[in-house]
Amino acid sequence: MEAEVKDQLVSIEKPGLIAPPNWEPVIMGILCNWCSYAGSDLTGTSRIQYPPNIRIIRVPCSSRVDPWFLIKSLQTTADGVLVSGCHPGDCHYISGNYYARRRFLVTKKLLNFVGFHENRIQFSWVSAAEGPKFAKVVAKVTDDIKKLGPLHLYKKENFEKK
């Protein structure tokens, strides 16, 4: 039964696969200030190249990220979301990323249940010293989202038209 439901849900994604030519996804990157944002800055200062699809939002800590932000992103502008924080144990705010980690697990399950492919929302831990890792993570997420195609089915305006 569960498998059946899952199939149906995933099938909702399928119409989105008809991507227009030269389509490029938009990925919302929500990064914590102390590790991942600093890491992404290091990627820049090291001139490590990565796909230009990500749009970065700075938050103080990954624990500031409300699931609402993820849903809102997918509803409006983004085809995928990447949230990144400090490595477990390295949180600038002592324990924020542990709360974030739990919250994201639940959020991911919920969005999965609603019908989003699991690769639409991704989480990673990137430290301030991991410039190359940030580039790798962005490349992987971009690649994953490209495979999934555009997310216009979920866009708010589509709902409003219907």
Q: Write out the residues near another protein by the rule CB under 8 A.
A: 24, 26, 28, 33, 37-38, 40-41, 43-45, 47-50, 52, 55-61, 63-66, 68-69, 72-73, 76-78, 92-96, 99, 103, 135
| Per-residue buried b or exposed e for 1-31, using 16+ beta carbons within 10 Å of the residue's own CB | eeeeeeeeeeeebeebeeeeeeeebbbbbbb
Q: Which is nearer to another protein, 5 or 106 (CB)?
A: 106
User: Is the CB of 42 or the CB of 148 nearer to another protein?
Assistant: 42
Give the nearest distance from C-beta 2 to another protein in angstroms.
28
Residue 42 CB, nearest approach to another protein (Å): 8
Cβ-contact 35, 90 below 8 angstroms? yes
Residue whose CB is less far from another protein, 72 or 152? 72
Question: Whole-angstrom Cα distance, residue 135 to residue 138?
Answer: 5
Closer to another protein by CB, 10 or 75: give it: 75
Q: Tokens 């989105």 — which residue?
A: 16
CB of 61 to another protein, least distance (A): 4
Q: How far is it, in rounded angstroms, from Cα 140 to Cα 137? A: 5
